[in-house]
Amino acid sequence: MSMTNLSAQQLRQAANLKEQIATLQTQLAAIFGAETKAAPATAKPAKKGGMSAAGRARIAAAAKLRWAKVRAAKTKPATVKTAVKAVVAAKPVQKPAKKKFKMSAAAKAKISAAAKARWAAKKTAQAKK
């Protein structure tokens, strides 16, 4: 008999029996001194490694160099050196550097004053203790 053919009463009875079996197993384990098996913790997915832009650029340059050699080998031998030199001379395109954020003098003074006020309040609270 499959589970789809069971009535609601039979399903409840099966669930109750499973609960009783589980409690009896834990009692039996307690008597014998064995630890009960806990449910296995879900394993975290492996962290995927990242690659820097410079690393990708080096790999791309090496691949272009390999393919330039293959293509040059198919053509005339004299053009191999020029093709390889052209690939080596080509530099990967770099993104412009990010503009650094500069804090204004007024903002620095405001943060400094707030920090000094916090520390003063903390020192007075400790002195009262």
pLDDT in the model for residue 118: 96
**Which pTM does this prediction carry?**
0.27
Whether the pLDDT of residue 93 is over 70: the answer is no
Tell me the per-residue pLDDT of 94-111, one tens digit each, with 9 for 90 and over. 677 778 888 999 999 999
Tell me the per-residue pLDDT of 14-51, one tens digit each, with 9 for 90 and over. 889 999 999 999 888 888 886 555 555 677 777 777 88
Kindly state the tokens that stand for 124.
């007075």
Tell me the per-residue pLDDT of 72-89, one tens digit each, with 9 for 90 and over. 888 765 555 666 666 666
Residue 85, SS3 per DSSP:
helix
Residue 92 · residue 57 · CB < 8 Å: yes
pLDDT above 90 coverage of the chain, percent? 33
pLDDT band at 112 (very low <50, low <70, confident <90, very high): very high
